[in-house]
Amino acid sequence: MLKRSCLFLFLFLSTMLTFAQSKEEQAVGQQVEKLKKAMIDADQSTLQSLTSDKLTYGHSTGTIEDKKLFVENILNNKSDFVTINLSNQTISISDNVALVRHKLDAVTNNEGKPGEAHLFVLLVWQKTSGQWKLIARQAVKQPVETPAKS
């Protein structure tokens, strides 16, 4: 009985948290998913439509791209994402600005070299003319876990 009650409580709270997300937070979440898909598919028109002309896109290596270079590097396989998994995502909205944080784990094939990316990402979205556009992105590498010394 206790297990059943705990399961019910967990499902109830999970459902409430999902529904607690505002319409705007849901809209931003949908834009993040569209961006993820467009990056995997190298979909130029979607990448163009989701990003602001003022985009500043920061990589964990310190490289900074503008919109033109960001899109070009996806299209020419300099930044080639085979898969992208996003987790631990939070969305915070203040007026016409949305801050999205998540963990990104990806399989990459940059310039034909297989690899992986494990990053913490901050996305800044701005609502202009009724549309959420990506205006800034910054990634940092996840710290390497080291075993505790005994």
pLDDT tens, position by position, 31-63: 999 999 999 999 999 999 999 999 999 999 999
Residue 17 lies in a domain: no
Residue 12 lies in a domain: no
| Inter-residue contact 122 to 101 (CB < 8 Å) | yes
> What's the number of domains the chain is made of?
1
Residue 149 lies in a domain: no
Residue 71 lies in a domain: yes
Residue 3 lies in a domain: no
Residue 84 lies in a domain: yes
pLDDT at 11 over 60: no
Half-sphere exposure of 2 (CA within 13 A, CB side): 0
Rounded CA-CA distance 30/36 in Å is: 10
Residue 8 lies in a domain: no
pLDDT in tens, 59-101: 999 999 999 999 999 999 999 999 999 999 999 999 999 999 9
Q: Give the domain extent around 99.
A: 23-141
Residue 55 lies in a domain: yes
Say which CATH number the domain at 92 has: 3.10.450.50
